[in-house]
Structure 1
Amino acid sequence: MTQPASVIDLYDSLLAAEDERARARIIAGAFERLEDRYPELKDLATASGVRESELRLQKEIEQLRLRIEEVRSDLTREIEQVRADLLKEIEKTNLRIEEVRTELIREIAQVRADLSKDIERLRAETSKEIAAGNQKILRWTTGLLFAQLVAIIAVIFGVGLM
């Protein structure tokens, strides 16, 4: 038996059915096609259901926006705290650098003063040694000149005696 395509075909099929059983089968087939064509109402989206879902989603979106703002605010505070901590550390480091620089300048000045003293002491010692050496050379040269003078005088007297 073929399935009726329209309401008139359904009516004609019901009139043409031989017994109650055939009619029940035709009616059941019509209901089956009707269910296939239109899903259950619980599966259909109604305007109120869509509105409820929309309101629920808007509420969730607003809660997410608030949470995002909280996180953004927390991050901003944390960034500012880290920035402040870094500035403090930079300031401490700059102070420490300045302390080290001052200490180095003081040590360099001390080394220069010590070197100047050592140079002056070495100059004095060298001057004394040079003066002592000059005196020795002068004595030696004087002795040599005196010896030459004596030799020249001896030669002059020795030549005169001859």
Structure 2
Amino acid sequence: MTSSVALYEALTNASDERSRARLIAEAFERLEERYPQLPDLATQADVRESELRLRHEIEQLRVDLAREIEQVRADLTRDIEKLRADLTGDTEKLRADLTSDTEKLRAELSLDIEQLRTDLTRDIEKLRTEVERVKFELLKWLLPVMVGQVIAIAALVKLL
């Protein structure tokens, strides 16, 4: 038997309940042999759990990034204050140098922050794409299984 129709015909032609049960068991055995990955399919709960875990990780990354930015900002502020305290001689020249360095650091920090945001956005998009791919894979395997179940139930109902 290679099709649902053949299974149906075999079930309708079976002489007793015992042979029908054997036919159904054999059909399930062939289904398991044909689709050995069925036990490994992710459920909606699995997908939701993965999504929640990913959201938690993304939020943790955001917190870590904010903490790191604050640390860099605090370090820069501390360094700037130390440089200001050390200035005693040529104030104008040192102020000009300090301003230049500060602007460079700000520019570099802005670039780093933008790069981190870009990387984080890209990673989030990759995660979203992966979640969508997993959803599609689930549907791709779940729909044929559901159709098979409906057919099997309909055949059982028809037999009863």
Q: Answer yes or no: same fold by TM over 0.5.
A: no
In our comparison, the structure showing a higher alpha carbon Rg is 1
Instruction: Name the structure, 1 or 2, with higher relative contact order (CA <8 Å, separation 6+).
Output: 2
Normalised TM-score (structure 2): 0.42
- Normalising to structure 1: TM-score of the pair? 0.41
